[in-house]
Amino acid sequence: MKAITIFKFILTLLAGNGIDPGSLKAEQECRLYQLSTHIVNVSRSDVDMAHLVALGYKESKFNWEGTKFLRAGDGSCGVFQQQPAYAKDEEGSKLSCRDLQDTYIAAAQAIRTLEWAFATYGRSFESVCHYNSGVKCYPKSRAYAKAHKKMFDRTLSYLKKNVGASDEDAILHRIVDRCSTYF
């Protein structure tokens, strides 16, 4: 049920940006739910999930519009806006921008990058600065880390309060009905 909780929180965040969750097309809603399940599946803890939600929100607003090939001007790709030059899969093989369009691959890569930053720079939000900028933590990346911390705290708080909420079964049934042609 954590995927439903993550999904509800993503919709809440989008609503806070003036996007009416009720106006989402079935394909958009299904893609966001699929992203929610991928976040849960690659995460080892609620902390990992909170980091991924914060990154997905900050980097692309979860690509809620459904851009088929999401690539920024600096070459960053996918929902979590990762540089293919530094992205590798579990076996160490390079990932392409096309690979990073897959939300499962992108979420797993984001977790690996965060784990690298935490192992290298310590388990602090300063490490998130390095997710954004690599080895040197620039002032712009420090601001990024500060914004990430706020979203991380908000996400973790939401997870703790809302997992198992009474409306989750109804949401799951709606998603299954609405998304059966997409999965």
Q: Are 35 and 179 in contact (CB under 8 A)?
A: no
Q: How far apart are CA 23 and CA 158, in angstroms?
A: 23
The fold adopted by the segment(s) 2-179 is Lysozyme (1.10.530)
Sign for the pseudo-dihedral over CA of 151, 154, 160, 166 = negative
Q: In the predicted model, what is the mean pLDDT of the chain?
A: 88
pLDDT tens digits, residue range 59-116? Answer: 999 888 877 788 888 889 999 999 999 899 989 999 999 999 999 999 999 999 888 8
CB count in 10 Å sphere of residue 114: 21
- Tell the residue number behind the tokens 């399940």, with chain if given: 37
pLDDT beyond 70 at 183: no
pTM value is 0.85
**Maximum distance among all Cα pairs of the chain, rounded to whole angstroms:** 47
- Tell the residue number behind the tokens 């954004």, with chain if given: 132
pLDDT tens digits, residue range 114-147? Answer: 888 888 888 787 888 888 888 888 899 999 999 9
